[in-house]
Copies of this chain bind each other. A is one copy, B any other.
């Protein structure tokens, strides 16, 4: 039987999603629990993709196989009893054996939260504490240049070699909080994201919002296909994998 789980996590105390020797990771915590549930026969989970150290997820998805069939509500209950309290399985569902949590992804949505106001120690691991006002109208203009199908090589980790750097950003948004005008949230819905791509886009958008670059510079940066042309990588704390949508 193949199962798909939807889960949320606070990434601030983890060294990223993906399992690594001697590091605390989300994947390892879930696999440990599933292995116990599976009578100590090892269970491997395949997620929609990794998230880096400090990055959070509202709705990450992963699949895994169990020999025996199990009630999905019971599986959800048992998993949540065993995993740490900063990870939570929201849903368990049965899927066909041809389903793959990574290969079947249609879109992913990331959000990035920024506090332009005074430093807030209570949010320091959850919202980028930028501490300066940004020109949000100029950022909104820049987001329009990001939408569409482009070669995003300039916005990915320089050392990552890919067959293709072409990705499609379906939709972007800049949301404001009506209770707190200093808080903004950038939304990116796309067919795929390469490593550091959202954080490099956000880092560049912040420089645009600071007036150091102009919105139309996005075109030249995309065309350069050169990481050095884009802005700094924004910190991981503001980033959330918000949703994964399957075909």
CB within 8 Å of B: which residues of A? Answer: 8-10, 56, 58, 80, 85-88, 90, 118-122, 124, 126
Contacts and interface: CB of A to CB of B under 8 A. Distances in A.
Interface centre among A9, A80, A119 (most CB of B within 10 A): A119
A113 B86 CA distance: 18
A10 B119 CA distance: 12
A66 to B, nearest CB: 24
A120 B8 contact: yes
Copies in the complex: 2
Name A's interface SS: mixed
A87 B121 CA distance: 6
Contacts of A8: 120-122
A142 to B, nearest CB: 25
B56 A10 contact: no
Nearest to A86: B121
A124 B9 contact: no
19 contacts: A8-B121, A8-B122, A9-B121, A9-B122, A10-B121, A10-B124, A56-B122, A58-B122, A80-B119, A85-B121, A85-B124, A86-B122, A86-B124, A87-B121, A88-B119, A88-B120, A88-B121, A90-B118, A122-B126
Contacts of A87: 121
A246 to B, nearest CB: 21
Interface centre among A8, A58, A122, A124 (most CB of B within 10 A): A122
A242 to B, nearest CB: 12
